[in-house]
Every structure is written in C-alpha cells, then in structure tokens.
Amino acid sequence: MSTVLFEVVTPERTVLSEQVTMVFVHTGGGELGILPRHAPLAATVKPGIVRVRLPEGEDYVHVTGGFLEVLPERVTLLANAAEVAHEIDVERAQRAKERAEKRLAQRTDDVDVRRAEAALQRALRRLEAVELSGRAGQILRQRSPQR
Ligand code: ATP
C-alpha cells in the first residue's frame, strides 16, 4: 500500500510523524484529501480535526490552525497547537467548554466574546476528536504505545 510521511509540528514539539495512506485537512480553500505523490502545494489550515488514514484504519488529530506544505513524499502541517486524539485530556476540554459557555452566557463588559467563542470551539473540537477516535479504535495510540 502506497504511503506518504505526514508530520504535524508545533512550536513546542513534533506531534505526529507517521506514514499514512491519506490525510484530510480543512484548508482556506475547502477540505483537501491528500494521497501519496500529491502535486506540491501550500495552504492555510483552518482550526479543526484532521482525519488520518493509515493502513490499519483511521484516526484524528485536533489542530488550532496553521499552515500546510504538500510535497510528493512528505506532507507537513505546522500548527499553533495540536493534539493526537488519544493525547487529549477530556476533563480539561470539558472544563474549558464550561468556562467558555459561562462567559458567553454572562456577556458582561469584561467578557471578550470572540475569545470565548474561539475557546468554546477548540474545546468542542477536542471532545469531537476524542469521540471520533474512540469509535475508530485509536489507531495512532496502538501504533505508538510509547506516546
Ligand atoms: P485550556 O483553557 O484548557 O488551556 P486552550 O484551548 O486555551 O485550553 P490552547 O491555547 O489551545 O488551550 O493550547 C495550549 C496548550 O495546551 C497546547 O499545547 C495544547 O496542545 C494543549 N491543550 C489544550 N487543551 C488540551 C487538552 N484538553 N488536552 C491536552 N492538551 C491540551
């Protein structure tokens, strides 16, 4: 089965470095499905969930947005922050969700609504990535038990 190296890198660490059969990324121009030997391209990445297809099945990575470089042999996503689904702390995401919801419900003068909405979306997407990954079988956790 043909594969391509997919790397997700943040200023802090390499979040993922795996040979994948396909990867789906939400870019500024819409959702992009990238196969091995894809033509070179560069794109902005929207905050969202990246779907990773491996020989054993699918898994998910949450990214807060960034930049994508596609080369025939390598796909690199530079993200502000990113987590493979199995790394996501569900209780922390739940707390972030509740905090943001509370702020949005209060809407007092000192509440930055856009910031609270962005925090809420991040928390919801993290929870969604965990749920999707759970259903898919947490392939990346099984592949990389040391993580
Ligand atoms: P919180 O309010 O819980 O810090 P946040 O959305 O403000 O959440 P970010 O600014 O997006 O957090 O990320 C800061 C760092 O914390 C990043 O390295 C990110 O990967 C990590 N991170 C945030 N939330 C979680 C989580 N629920 N589980 C694991 N890592 C997380």
User: Token pair for residue 6?
Assistant: 């997919």
Protein residue closest via CA to atom 29 of ligand 1 = 88
Nearest-5° Cα angle at 17, 28 to 126: 55
Position in ligand 1 atom list of the atom nearest CA 88: 28
- Residues in a beta bridge with 53: 22, 58
The CA distance from 128 to 132, in Å, is 6
Give residue 72's domain range.
4-85
Q: Which of 12, 92, 102 to mutate to test the pocket of ligand 1 (most atoms within 8 A of CB)?
A: 92
* Number of domains within the chain: 1
Express each pLDDT in 55-110 by its tens digit.
999 999 999 999 999 999 999 999 999 999 999 999 999 999 999 999 999 878 88
For 14-40, the pLDDT digits (tens) are 999 999 999 999 999 999 999 999 999
Q: Which residue has the tokens 């922390």?
A: 92
pTM: 0.94
Q: What is the model's pLDDT at position 107?
A: 79
Residue 142 lies in a domain: no
For residue range 5-16, list pLDDT tens digits in order: 999 999 999 999
The CATH number given to whatever domain includes residue 70 is 2.60.15.10
- At residue 146, does pLDDT exceed 50? no
The reply to whether 48 falls in a domain is: yes
Look up residue 129 and give its DSSP letter.
H
Q: Which residues line ligand 1 (CB under 6 A)?
A: 12, 64, 81, 83, 87-89, 92-93, 96, 119, 122, 126
Q: Does 141 reside within a domain? A: no
For residues 68 and 76, the answer to whether their CB atoms sit within 8 Å is yes
Structure tokens belonging to residue 86: 């199995």
Rounded to an integer, the average pLDDT of 111-132 is 95
Residue 128, H or E segment: helix 113-136
- Answer whether residue 146 is part of any domain: no
